[in-house]
């Protein structure tokens, strides 16, 4: 069944508080697959990337140059990029955790990069082997060299709303860390609800704190996990405040190794269905995207958690 068969939702104008256009930052091929226990074959990953681009996604995050010991799923980063069939007008960012990752990215002729930081002390120590403030010593060489090379650089900030060890995270602490990433040279900051505990009120509060601190909302993106079923509500809140870039994962792929009940990232199909109903432009062909997620679910041997995928493919 296609979206056309069931009838797309009426395109009701979103109103003055919402953007006319939203950029979808697709993370399924990197963040979505990195927690898979079984290594996904290289040819499957390449076809997945081909299908995502063909569905109209203009930003498709591909992989990460992290040490294979820590993320075996992404050990094929060089081979993936070597075999990638790039589509004109589509960006293919990669994550570079440190200066060694940056070197690998430059050798692979990649100029669209991202770094990954923590908003909390405990997560910084456990995931980055660094303190909350010390982590910037690792990022500074990457950001300075990226600027010198003319590369785009995005900053991911994890645990922006809750941390499994520290509990709720103070908004001002998130803003302090986020501003440092922007000051180092990141052109965009993605605020991550890593364990999926955020609510719309928390989202509003954090965005207010960034604005008060002098950070424009055009420099911010959001990435919500759907652990408690709040991802779409949180995304809608962020859009209503002026955020124009949303991270999501085709078919809701992904999860969080720090919260057993985490159900993964906001599904791109669920996001697209909502945006279509609001008359907000995004450039994605929903039917092609659903077909892609159904295909990928077969490769992984389990159904997609996306409600829109299941409704249209049912």
- For residue 13, pLDDT over 80 is answered with no
Distance (Å, whole) CA 125 – CA 133: 11
What average pLDDT does the structure give for the chain?
Answer: 92
Distance (Å, whole) CA 314 – CA 301: 16
For position 256, what pLDDT does the model report? Answer: 58
Distance (Å, whole) CA 53 – CA 250: 12
The DSSP output letter for 289 is H
For position 70, what pLDDT does the model report? Answer: 85
Q: Which of 74, 160, 256, 280 is catalytic?
A: 256
- For residue 50, pLDDT over 90 is answered with yes
Residue among 169, 183, 173 nearest 215 (CA): 183
Contact 190, 177 (CB under 8 A): no
**256 counts as catalytic:** yes
For position 1, what pLDDT does the model report? Answer: 61
Q: What is the pLDDT of residues 104-155, one digit of tens each?
A: 999 999 999 999 999 999 999 988 888 898 899 989 999 999 999 999 999 9
| Model pTM score | 0.94
Tally of CA atoms within 13 A in the half-sphere of 179 that contains its CB: 16
Which tokens hold the place of 15? Answer: 């109103």
Q: How many residues are listed for the chain in this entry?
A: 314
Other beta carbons within 10 angstroms of residue 192's beta carbon come to 27
Contact 275, 9 (CB under 8 A): no
**Which CB contacts under 8 angstroms, 24+ apart, belong to 169-175?**
169/119, 169/120, 171/202, 171/205, 171/206, 171/209, 172/209, 173/119, 173/120, 174/119, 174/206, 174/209, 175/206, 175/209, 175/210, 175/213, 175/215
DSSP per-residue string spanning 75-112: TTHHHHHHH--PPTT-B--EE--SHHHHHHHHHTT--E
Residue identified by tokens 């279509």 is 276
Q: What is the pLDDT of residues 184-221, one digit of tens each?
A: 999 999 999 999 999 999 999 999 999 999 999 999 99
* Mean pLDDT for the stretch of residues 233-257: 92
Domains of the chain: 3-7+19-313 (3.20.20.70)
- For residue 262, pLDDT over 60 is answered with no
């Amino acid at each position: 069944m296609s979206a056309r068969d069931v009838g797309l939702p009426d395109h009701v104008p979103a109103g003055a508080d919402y953007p006319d256009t939203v950029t979808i930052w697709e993370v399924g091929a990197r963040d979505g697959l990195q927690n898979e226990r079984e290594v996904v074959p290289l040819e499957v990953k390449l076809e997945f990337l081909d299908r995502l681009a063909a569905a109209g996604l203009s930003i498709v995050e591909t992989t990460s140059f992290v040490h294979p010991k820590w993320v075996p799923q992404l050990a094929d980063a060089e081979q993936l990029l070597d075999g990638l069939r790039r589509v004109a007008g589509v960006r293919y960012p990669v994550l570079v955790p440190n200066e060694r990752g940056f070197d690998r990215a430059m050798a692979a002729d990649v100029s669209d990069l991202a770094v990954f930081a923590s908003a909390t002390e405990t997560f910084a120590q456990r995931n980055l082997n660094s303190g909350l403030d010390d982590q910037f010593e690792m990022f500074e060489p990457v950001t300075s060299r990226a600027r010198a090379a003319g590369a785009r650089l995005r900053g991911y900030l994890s645990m922006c709303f809750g941390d499994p060890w520290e509990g709720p995270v103070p908004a001002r602490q998130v803003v302090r860390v986020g501003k440092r990433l922007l000051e180092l040279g990141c052109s965009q900051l993605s605020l991550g609800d890593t364990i999926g505990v955020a609510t719309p009120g928390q989202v509003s509060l954090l965005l207010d704190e960034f604005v008060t601190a002098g950070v424009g909302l055009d420099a911010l993106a959001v990435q919500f996990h759907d652990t408690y079923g709040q991802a779409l509500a949180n995304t809608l809140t962020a859009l209503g405040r002026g955020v124009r870039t949303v991270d999501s994962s085709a078919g809701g792929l992904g999860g969080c190794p720090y919260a057993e009940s985490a159900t993964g990232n906001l599904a791109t199909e669920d996001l697209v269905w909502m945006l279509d109903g609001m008359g907000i432009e995004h450039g994605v062909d929903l039917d092609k995207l659903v077909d892609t997620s159904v295909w990928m679910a077969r490769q992984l041997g389990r159904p997609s958690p996306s409600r829109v995928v299941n409704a249209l493919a049912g």
